[in-house]
Structure 1
């Protein structure tokens, strides 16, 4: 299949807002979309905010299955990261949930929240998705 990518698009920014451990059936899709966009050589940034930062604790996403599929949510996260998706943890959300940035999964390499995501959302060259 030949897929056309908009050459003017600078990247895809994905905001995880309603993606929390209590709803594992909603957790694979954002990472599958991120992996697909990254596989098309698009820069991809995933912003973990609100309760989605809980997925960044070691062991949490690895214990969740979005369906009867054998892959875990962490497997989906690792796949997105392996294709080049960059994970941002919201500092305020980390603090609200008593998490330390030093103890997050290794795929999460950056900090960024509302200001950074809104900078992407206001940049007409970037596309945004909210899950």
Structure 2
């Protein structure tokens, strides 16, 4: 049975915060269930790993809960967050600008490797 869950946020657009709640909540739940969880942010979601971006977006308007709150919750349960290096370059974001919950940078080969790994299940949003 696979023990790793990789969630790739690539098509979820921070301009529509409702798209971000479910995958981040699923990351928290899977990590709380003792699965090895990693969330890779790329595409439109890549800038969420930049300090201040996720904290400025409420998941549901008026709720007071931000995308960053969901990231911190998942991270607190053990989920690792990773940023796509090429994507950060496209958005002119430096490694020094990343949130503390971001464990590092990965590239396309890493994502392909995860998708092909028999011990990993991959969800994309």
Question: Which TM-score bucket, shorter chain as reference?
Answer: over 0.9
* 2:5 corresponding residue in structure 1: 12
* 1:37 corresponding residue in structure 2: 30
1:23-79 Cα deviation digits (max 9, x unpaired): 111111111000000000000011111121111111111111121433111000000
CA contact (8 A) 1:48 1:90 kept: yes
CA contact (8 A) 2:10 2:46 kept: no
CA contact (8 A) 2:31 2:77 kept: yes
How far residue 119 of structure 1 moved from its aligned partner, in angstroms, is 0.7
- 2: CA distance, partners of 1:115 / 1:72: 31
Which 4+ stretches in 1 moved above 3 angstroms?
none
Q: Which has the higher Rg, Structure 1 or Structure 2?
A: 1
User: Are 2:54 and 1:61 equivalent residues in the alignment?
Assistant: yes
Secondary structure of the corresponding residue to residue 27 of structure 1: helix
Secondary structure of the corresponding residue to residue 128 of structure 1: strand
* 1:124 corresponding residue in structure 2: 118
User: Are 2:51 and 1:84 equivalent residues in the alignment?
Assistant: no
Uncovered stretches (5+) of structure 1, i.e. residues with no partner: 1-7
- 1: CA distance, partners of 2:32 / 2:81: 16
How far residue 88 of structure 1 moved from its aligned partner, in angstroms, is 1.0
How far residue 113 of structure 1 moved from its aligned partner, in angstroms, is 2.7
TM-score by length of 1: 0.89
RMSD: 1.1
Paired residues, what number? 124
Uncovered stretches (5+) of structure 2, i.e. residues with no partner: none
